[in-house]
Chains A and B, each alone.
Chain A
Amino acid sequence: MLQIHGWQIRLPSNLTRFVLLALLSVSLMLLDARGHHLERIRAGLTVLFAPIQLVAAIPIRVGGWMVDFVRGDQALQEEVEKLRTEQPLLMAKLQRYDALEAENAHLRELLGTSALVAEKAVAAELLEVASEPFRRTLVIAKGEKDGLYVGQPVIDAYGIRGQVSEVGVLQSKVILITDPGHAIPVQVNRNGLRAIAFGTGAPDSVSIRYLTASADIKVGDLLVSSGIGGTFPFGYPVAKVTKIVNNPNESFLDITATPVAQLSNNREVLLIWPTKAALTLPAPKPAEDKKPAAAKKPVAKHPPEVKKPAETAAPKPAPTPAVSTPQPVVTPPPAEPASKPAAVPSP
């Protein structure tokens, strides 16, 4: 009982409160998951509780400084030396890349398609915060004012790490390719065979589903992003196939691949702003016209995070189906790309 100015007010019972709040929670969940109606509220709350994240990130930060301090000059010198030897090698490789890029642009000009323009990339610092158990997410210290958008590809020096799933004012959330709610369209670098890599929640593996036993895929194959779906640009390394199990009782192969990006131990990630040309590059292949739609579907319906960018960033996944010659591309799926129609059956 609560007494205010002689009025007696009965507080709601424990059960009533629980039922009311449970209903409120369910409606919040529906609003959030089905329609993304709570973006603004969530963004506001994220700013409000950001200090908790900052505090949680302190131990690792301090640990990092301590390590640097203890390692001292000797180690730093060694590191500088190592970087100095690596640098010319990378530069040499880059020279060839420039030539290839020029050649590619020239060829594309001949074909009458738009040239592949270098994309803008920005490094973002990670905030060392644990993700929800069994989900794979990161928090980065970049937000709205840096021009981030939901669905933006996130990479590191080795390959694709994931995509931005939530943009806040000062910090954003990145969903990794290993998250159980993530899927990324890929193709085998060797022969252009298309597939989808699903995250499972395991920290260092993705699973390639919906490939039949006749598919031409081997252990050790490199999977690169196929550009279908319009979220990730074409040609970035995603994962290496590590295990293929062919169980005759199942209709599809059970394929496990290990992401090539260093998903767990980096301090920085790279955000890229892919150009329209990069996103729509590999789609036109007359023999496989129906596939882009089929490949897009699971990505679009699976996680709510992936859904939006796929819709907004790629209005038309197959713009120029007129070309009938094999397409020149940056990272070569060499010269026989119109292969394997068994690539991606829709589930």
Chain B
Amino acid sequence: MSMNTVTRSRLIIAGTFLVALVLTILPWPVWTEQFRPNWVALVLIYWCMAIPGRIGVGSGWTAGIILDVLYGSTLGENALALSLIAFLTVHFHLQLRMFPRWQQAAVVLLLVAADNLLLLWIKHLSGQAPATWGYLTPSIVSMIIWPWLFVILRDIRRHGNVS
């Protein structure tokens, strides 16, 4: 792999994360908020599964810190949640690759739910937890869009020769 392809694939990966971040803070009507999927977590899961040697806990942590800064939440909470997701995905990446798509989606549901519950728990500790069950619906939406997102990201990866 020449230096050029390395830089290029880095740019592609960073680009997908950037798009995910923008989608995350894109303004929608307030009532849609509980249906907004965790874009960053989904993109992270994909890359951790596809190229665990390059994208892993460290990348998850960095993305989490950026998310914390954009949200203005306590510095470190999304970082912790996303590094947990990255750790689990990298740990099980071989099994995950073998799973049929729907089974993958089910695992994604569990991972994103873990992310949301961890965040809820941290917010509870700092006294800022919302009084709603809506906190779990994003993980279901994330599960539903996973198969499509998977296909899109796979095409991007193949097209850009990211490995």
Mark A residues whose CB is within 8 Å of B: 14-15, 17-18, 21-22, 24-29, 31-33, 38, 41-42, 45-46, 48-49, 52-53, 55-57, 59-60, 128-135, 137, 165-166, 173, 179-181, 200-203, 264, 302-304
Contacts and interface: CB of A to CB of B under 8 A. Distances in A.
B26 interface: yes
Given A56-B27, A128-B27, A129-B27, A134 B134 contact: yes
Contacts of B21: 52
A21 B79 contact: yes
A180 B70 contact: no
B126 A45 contact: no
Interface in B16-52: 18, 21-22, 24-28, 30-31, 33-34, 36
B74 A45 contact: no
Contacts of A42: 69, 75
Most chain B C-beta atoms within 10 Å of own C-beta, residue among A21, A179, A202, A203:
A21
A80 B57 CA distance: 56
A301 to B, nearest CB: 8
B65 interface: yes
Interface stretch (B1-9, B80-88, B105-113, B151-159): B80-88
Nearest to A133: B33
Contacts of B66: 45, 49, 52
B97 interface: no
B117 interface: no
B interface majority secondary structure: helix
B71 A22 contact: no
A55 B23 CA distance: 10
Contacts of A18: 57, 83-84, 86-87
Contact of B87 (A15, A26, A27, A32): A15
B135 interface: yes
A55 B132 contact: no
Given A21-B57, A21-B58, A200-B130, A14 B76 contact: no
Given A55-B22, A129-B27, A180-B130, 4 more contacts: A18-B87, A25-B64, A46-B69, A56-B26
Nearest to B34: A133
B140 interface: no
Contacts of B72: 132, 137, 165-166, 173
Given A14-B90, A130-B26, A25 B33 contact: no
Contacts of B94: none
23 contacts: A18-B57, A18-B83, A24-B79, A25-B64, A25-B77, A25-B79, A28-B75, A29-B75, A29-B77, A29-B80, A42-B75, A46-B69, A53-B25, A130-B26, A130-B27, A133-B34, A135-B128, A180-B128, A180-B129, A181-B127, A201-B130, A264-B30, A303-B128
Contact size range, B: 35 or more
Contacts of B73: 132, 135
Majority SS at the chain A contact face: helix
Most chain A CB neighbours (cut-off 10 Å) among B25, B26, B83, B122: B25
Given A134-B130, A173-B72, A17 B27 contact: no
A87 to B, nearest CB: 31
A22 B80 contact: yes
A333 to B, nearest CB: 30
B150 to A, nearest CB: 22
B24 to A, nearest CB: 7
Contacts of B91: 14-15
A14 B56 contact: yes
A21 B61 contact: yes
A134 B135 contact: yes
Contacts of A29: 74-77, 80, 122
B131 interface: yes
B30 A203 contact: yes
Contacts of B27: 56-57, 59-60, 128-130
A163 to B, nearest CB: 13
A55 B19 CA distance: 10
A45 B65 contact: yes
A32 B74 contact: yes
